[in-house]
Chains A and B, each alone.
Chain A
């Protein structure tokens, strides 16, 4: 009998067929690219939906040519109905949060680079890894398929609050099959993320190469590791919530629908359900989800900035501890989404306090970034520009979080455009900028070609201006009392705000078109871009830059890496170059190791 216990993971051989190489691949790098492609498809879809919504908000009776092809009942005569606006809004939020902001920075880049940065040949459970992508793909198909059922997708918003999410077709268009498909899609998505998290955590803990202690991991790897722990605990809670809601629909149970719920003069047969129960289960996932979207970006941006600053962050450890603190605290603050749910004011204080506390690690992270940037000779390129843009968006969006953390102010601003502006900046645009930074930075390693820098810089500046033009006015709208999720503004106090909405719509369309520059750059550079001059075009130090470009099937060829240094040995006195790679045997002074 063989005791094969000493062989930690038997790794798959190089694929031989097209299917095993490009479709059902076990290679983490291919899976990472698949996730990226899915996120790109989802981003284009989500952005298109936002254009339709914005056009409707600016010009309510506008006929959008061809809209009836998407839904005859939702857009008779190509004019959007109020219900269809809500359906598009729901799917915009769902697609962007789950299939873009979670998928791209975490699953796409993490899959491609975490094993390489840890010095592993692959993830320890490659079959689970392959399943995680295809399960996520099925989830996307299931969720989007709701566009093609009779009354379209659900209109309940990405938070899918009860009882609207559970009352069935009586709740309006899309509240029957639309909700069931949404819940099923998200439950399936949770399974995919759990499988992914399992691989990420195990890779980080068990697959590191010789010499790669946890503190020698790059900050990007730390971002993915922390996110995977959050994902493991958050998605494991959302999934049962979705299952219970599906049962309310298809099996006639009463988990979320209270007694005596009357819709259209009819009493629903459900009894005794708890509407707040859904909110608790959802937001226990929902708030960590904010950090699931942003922490990988924090890691990526730190990694990109350090490489371009040519010096490490002020404190590697404190940055890691702060990201960890964000992860822990994210579970303790979820109730701040429920200040107006009728909760006991003492409970509100209990959630308000950690919400204010969570600003401390956020602030520490920002101060480390700014302090490290101060006086540095930053190399300006597309990746570093988007990294700076990330910080800008994170600060701008984060500052409004201070206000919303306090119940007395939140009660006024809740469900207004102030909140929409806040989370779009801090979670949406910042995370997108993190994705862009990572793309421009790692594209040479992923493809062997460089992206066009001129187009990249144009993409940055136009996106940066465009994003602020869209989302800063949201804060003003919110303070002016403009409630969110209204499809038209007919009240006296809202009518004067319509020109602002028109401005935002123009900015949104402009910023959306600007993204075509990125898509063009991405596709053109993939096939005809300038070849990367060498394996390490940015003069980086971490392991992805010490292997071939693109990396071979087992990441490092015949010679597996051994790590001798902390991840960011830049501007080292007496070194042969201004950096020492982690795999270099060159001796360097390392204060961290001296401890």
Chain B
């Protein structure tokens, strides 16, 4: 079912009390002159996504340091070239970031103007979803290709790191795909918040950037 954009945006001049009114130096003077209060706090989803990204960054930093230490320590390290399909996957995940950005822009314009846009902005999200699934399929192909060549987790620790890093990243991509499905569902129900959309987009871009970093690391170290 196509999603149409036709309702005007609802902008609340006064937020509900108790939500995001604290600000960084947002003191309310004794006597209660609330006119001086300005809200400078971002939406929780906007902050939350960066907190989540910080945790994921730490996890992959730990994997990276393990790889560097283990390789520097090893006489048994087996160097190998990463499966070529990974380069194609890289293009796919970059493309998915572009489609998502276009979708975000269309939806934002619709939210601002309150008018229906030519075409369906959700199509960009569907496209991103399809590209994300294609990326995961491509990663799966790479794992199967290595496995078919006889290189499994236990073959050598270099292969083990390859599997660990790429599978860990793919699991996080699945989280992003789940987020996209949620955004699409909310868009169809006209209950999408801007902060939810923005947070999903930031996460998806981070997945792309993380993958490029991982590919560089694997290309350099394996």
A positions within 8 Å CB-CB of B: 1-9, 118-121, 124-125, 194, 197-198, 201-203, 205-214, 216, 232-233, 236-237, 239-241, 243-244, 247, 251-255, 259, 271-274, 276-277, 280-281, 284, 556, 559-565, 585-588, 590, 593
Q: Can you list 15 contacts pairing A with B, beta carbon distance less than 8 Å?
A: A1-B5, A2-B192, A3-B112, A5-B111, A209-B17, A209-B21, A210-B34, A211-B27, A240-B168, A253-B157, A254-B76, A272-B70, A272-B157, A590-B30, A593-B27
- Are A206 and B41 also in contact (CB < 8 A) when A8-B15, A585-B32 are? yes
Select which of A6, A198, A214 is within 8 A of B51 by beta carbon.
A198
- Are A4 and B193 also in contact (CB < 8 A) when A9-B44, A585-B30 are? yes
Check B85 for interface membership: any CB of A closer than 8 A: no
- Are A212 and B22 also in contact (CB < 8 A) when A3-B194, A280-B65 are? yes
Binary interface encoding of chain B residues 169-188 relative to chain A, with 1 for a CB under 8 A from any of its CBs, else 0:
00000000000000000010
Q: How many chain B residues touch A (Cβ–Cβ < 8 Å)?
A: 71
With contacts defined as CB atoms under 8 Å apart, how many contacts are there between chain A and chain B in the complex? 228
| CB neighbours of B75 from chain A (8 A) | 259, 272
Binary interface encoding of chain B residues 85-104 relative to chain A, with 1 for a CB under 8 A from any of its CBs, else 0:
00000000000000000000
- Are A202 and B55 also in contact (CB < 8 A) when A4-B191, A274-B73 are? no
Select which of B9, B34, B70 is within 8 A of A1 by beta carbon.
B9
Q: What CA separation (Å) do A233 and B55 show in the bound complex?
A: 6
| CB neighbours of B42 from chain A (8 A) | 205-206
| CB neighbours of B83 from chain A (8 A) | none
**When A and B form their complex, which 6 residue pairs have the shortest distance between CB atoms, in order from nearest?**
A208-B22, A5-B194, A211-B28, A560-B17, A124-B44, A252-B154
Closest to A285 in B: B62
| CB neighbours of B23 from chain A (8 A) | 208, 213
Q: What CA separation (Å) do A585 and B33 show in the bound complex?
A: 10
Check B29 for interface membership: any CB of A closer than 8 A: yes
Q: What CA separation (Å) do A243 and B15 show in the bound complex?
A: 44
Closest to B27 in A: A213
Which DSSP category, helix, strand, loop or mixed, fits chain A's interface?
loop
| CB neighbours of A274 from chain B (8 A) | 69-70, 73
| CB neighbours of B77 from chain A (8 A) | 272
Q: Are A564 and B160 in contact (CB under 8 A)?
A: no
Q: Are B22 and A244 in contact (CB under 8 A)?
A: no
Q: What CA separation (Å) do A237 and B23 show in the bound complex?
A: 31
Q: Are B47 and A253 in contact (CB under 8 A)?
A: no
Q: What CA separation (Å) do A474 and B15 show in the bound complex?
A: 57
Q: How far is the CB of A338 from chain B (nearest CB, A)?
A: 13
- Are A210 and B37 also in contact (CB < 8 A) when A277-B73, A560-B18 are? yes
| CB neighbours of B130 from chain A (8 A) | none
| CB neighbours of A587 from chain B (8 A) | 30-31
Check B140 for interface membership: any CB of A closer than 8 A: no
Closest to A271 in B: B76
| CB neighbours of B69 from chain A (8 A) | 274, 276-277, 280
Q: What CA separation (Å) do A281 and B69 show in the bound complex?
A: 11
Q: How far is the CB of B169 from chain A (nearest CB, A)?
A: 12
Q: Are B9 and A3 in contact (CB under 8 A)?
A: yes
| CB neighbours of A205 from chain B (8 A) | 41-42, 47
Closest to B194 in A: A5
Q: Are B190 and A2 in contact (CB under 8 A)?
A: yes
Binary interface encoding of chain B residues 1-39 relative to chain A, with 1 for a CB under 8 A from any of its CBs, else 0:
000011101111001111111111111111110100100
Q: Are A561 and B18 in contact (CB under 8 A)?
A: yes
Q: What CA separation (Å) do A560 and B15 show in the bound complex?
A: 12
Check B164 for interface membership: any CB of A closer than 8 A: yes
Q: How far is the CB of B159 from chain A (nearest CB, A)?
A: 9
Binary interface encoding of chain B residues 184-217 relative to chain A, with 1 for a CB under 8 A from any of its CBs, else 0:
0001001111110000000000000000000000
Check B119 for interface membership: any CB of A closer than 8 A: no
Q: What CA separation (Å) do A560 and B18 show in the bound complex?
A: 6
| CB neighbours of A255 from chain B (8 A) | 66, 70, 157, 160
Q: What CA separation (Å) do A233 and B57 show in the bound complex?
A: 9
- Are A239 and B153 also in contact (CB < 8 A) when A1-B192, A5-B194 are? no
Q: How far is the CB of B148 from chain A (nearest CB, A)?
A: 18
